[in-house]
Chains A and B, each alone.
Chain A
């Protein structure tokens, strides 16, 4: 009938109909395209089961939140001491400093301290000063600390803040920054009206969170579990903060449920180096940084490119390569030798804090950290036997290539704050971050500090978080 109607018109009248019809068609397509561009893509939440055996068909999961305290025993401490006493060392090569890895001459000093002065019982009390809890999600026990401000002035809003650690760190990395965020005024920080209650979970397989029993536990699963945790704690909207794996997990959280994430703060940013455009911008940027959107500080941090982004990364990524392929092999000896575990973990606390520490016989570890806090973090891996499961996280996250790229195409639209520390392993300029993070509210070049920002420079990081949150709250 339509065709008949069309044919029945005269030529000129046909035009009168066709042109507006075509315009409507094109307009419709245009509107659809514009709308789909603005429709934010999210990562599917999905579901999971990580307990042993088959998922039980009947019965609801126990959602109770149980208070938890870290404990130790004489037996545990004696076993540790015995192993420290029987440690076998290999003398370093002459003049090696930290260039071949952790220098065993310095390691012996650390172990002597560990055996004779380090007081694990006292450190357990330190760890227990914040309230700990455990709750079962997707079949495994999730451990977290939840610290509320002891005093909230009348009318002040308390922002919930989820902070996620990485490897080889733990929830303990946040112990110095937590008071700065829950009680800023008492620590000389008065970044406006921002006060937080902080939740620091342990990634499943790390510390006191149960390790998954099934294959495939990646950052997406972690993001989903942490959303469920926050929901279970009664929070509908919250801020998230992370570095190392924590950066990936919190980013996935923002991509998964943007409506729940008020703001995303990162102290390290991972963006996939995308193709030809990036290569060209890197090459041009060496001579004309402003042309490709790089600031002077960006240029200072990323050039010489081959040295800093290829050679140094290759030099520092051996652990990543073996953990992403043979975690059970790599972790086996470390779960049996506390000295081996300490060497493996503390090497990162040296090199990733400042690359120049490689030249020092003692890796300059004690210039930025105390042995007590370094060993407490190592002890968390030791007493929970979690080194192997912590390493498996690398394999689970790097195995599925297409999986990764699909999520790389999902941008991040929640307000984002980035703190770029100068000694971080990889520097991501704002112009590159913008390709994934569409809504960067703050981007700060930090004056000093490396990879373990919360541990090493808690005040600087806290100030940046507050500065970011204040801006978001004003928006």
Chain B
């Protein structure tokens, strides 16, 4: 009796163990991809007729009326005095803001900036019911026997396609800029629907997977079967989703931001002990320097800097309303990010350090894109569509990325993601490099550094034909 009972128990244990092992195997073999998200974002009902798939050239335009309306609003701006000695600790300092507005009225030349914007060919095409705007720049000259590699670059908030204007020439014509000309790109920078000159979705639920699906269609429509993708801020998420959705089309994914939203027990453990046993958790010295003390550099920093995300993820139409009506309010809101996300220490400066890394013409051109297109509200809705279910709860956050990935880690990025964490999601990291300087708006602030990193990453991928090994 005893032995048969023991025998049964042993059998049960083996069965259980076997089930666990089989489950493990199966779940590893079960390769999940992110499905393409069908959608129709136009007004009202989707018409029966087939969608117009033409690609139409587009030019940014302005009018006297637009300019005089802007100047009238700048003239009538009402400012509240800052507290004594508050610098940028309470947000954008209005003493400095007045100087920006004065420049905006008297020196900034929007007509000239429109010509600058139009120097690259722009187009519009209808996808899933809305007009998608994009810049498409081909190399001015190609070395013998070379072909241009298509590179999709996606911006974020509060940026725009304009952020890439300095880096585009470094990628389409590297030789003229002292960079290796082994790889030359043709660059496609679309505007996320709801941003800039891309039409805003009229229906609810347009999230990063929707944007990735739209951009996927765009690349196919442009005739690209294989391409590279690059992104930061929302561009990071959209390009990641694209890599999860169409891995066979993506040769490589390059990111200047690599957030990890699916935190587990090991992450918690590494936060608690990583400072003392970095090697145990795969942390490098630079990782420890940037992440610890975690209370100050992680939690406190997130709380201090994420108010905008919280309100945009819950009441975008409310918070954007005044900003679409007051260009000065819009400038204050957007400029605060260009200050703080470039270097947190800029809080302590009366002028927020804005002109140390950017010039006012570039900053105001980006703001003007939000102003003339009236897109601030729809740009904020993207936060609600992506965050309303909470962070770490969506399907795509649990899926991995197997496409060859390159990560450029900039030191002044708000939150640092160590390679040890990134590689849990991006299982095929080919290149992870610490950049010597720079913050969140990498393409605008440090275009050479970013271009170099993209080039060396693509070099690695191409040399070993890594996209074929999957």
Contact = CB atoms under 8 A, between A and B. Distances in A.
Interface of A: 52-53, 79, 82-83, 86-96, 100-104, 107, 212-215, 314-319, 321-337, 339-341, 343-344, 347, 385, 387-389, 392, 395
Nearest to B375: A90
Contact of B328 (A87, A333, A344): A333
Contacts of A82: 76
Contacts of B312: 318
Contacts, number: 200
Nearest to B313: A318
B182 interface: no
Contacts of B204: 93-96
A10 B90 CA distance: 75
Nearest to A90: B377
A319 B311 contact: yes
Nearest to B43: A94
Given A82-B76, A325-B304, A330-B311, 17 more contacts: A88-B325, A90-B317, A92-B317, A101-B318, A103-B317, A215-B83, A326-B90, A326-B307, A326-B308, A328-B80, A329-B333, A330-B91, A330-B319, A333-B332, A337-B322, A337-B329, A385-B78
Contact of A101 (B77, B317, B329): B317
Interface in B48-93: 69, 72-73, 76-86, 90-93
B97 A101 contact: no
Nearest to B83: A215
B85 A215 contact: yes
Contacts of A331: 80
28 contacts: A82-B76, A83-B325, A86-B69, A90-B376, A100-B317, A101-B321, A102-B318, A103-B317, A107-B321, A215-B85, A215-B86, A315-B314, A316-B314, A318-B311, A318-B314, A322-B310, A326-B307, A332-B92, A332-B329, A332-B332, A333-B330, A337-B322, A337-B326, A340-B323, A340-B326, A343-B317, A343-B322, A385-B78
Contacts of B320: 90, 101
B307 A324 contact: yes
Contacts of B315: 100-102, 318-319, 347
B402 interface: no
A79 B76 contact: yes
A102 B311 contact: no
A318 B307 contact: yes
A91 to B, nearest CB: 8
A410 to B, nearest CB: 26
Interface in B280-294: none
B306 interface: yes
A344 B322 contact: yes
A325 B318 contact: no
B302 to A, nearest CB: 11
Q: Is the interface of A mostly helix, strand, loop or mixed?
A: helix
B44 to A, nearest CB: 8
A33 to B, nearest CB: 36
B300 to A, nearest CB: 10
Interface residues of B, number: 62
B92 A328 contact: yes
B329 A333 contact: yes
Contacts of B79: 332, 335
Contacts of B94: 328, 332
A385 B384 contact: no
A333 B326 contact: yes
B203 interface: yes
Contact of A100 (B97, B374, B384): B384
Contact of B311 (A53, A322, A334): A322
Contacts of A87: 325
Contact of B381 (A53, A95, A100, A315): A100
Interface in B318-355: 318-326, 328-330, 332-333, 336
B465 to A, nearest CB: 45
Contact of A340 (B306, B322, B374): B322
B291 to A, nearest CB: 21
Contact of A89 (B305, B307, B324): B324
A333 B323 contact: yes
Those 8 A-B pairs whose CB atoms lie nearest each other, nearest first = A340-B322, A333-B329, A329-B91, A318-B311, A101-B318, A322-B307, A101-B317, A328-B91
A1 B454 CA distance: 89
A351 B306 CA distance: 23
Contacts of A91: 202
A290 B76 CA distance: 60
B305 A325 contact: yes
Contacts of B80: 328, 331-332, 335, 385, 387-389
A100 B328 contact: no
A17 to B, nearest CB: 56
B321 A322 contact: no
A359 B80 CA distance: 35
A334 B92 contact: no
A322 B308 contact: yes
Nearest to B201: A93
A318 B313 CA distance: 8
A215 B84 contact: yes
B192 to A, nearest CB: 16
A344 B317 contact: no
A339 B377 CA distance: 14
A218 to B, nearest CB: 13
Nearest to B307: A322
A460 B46 CA distance: 51
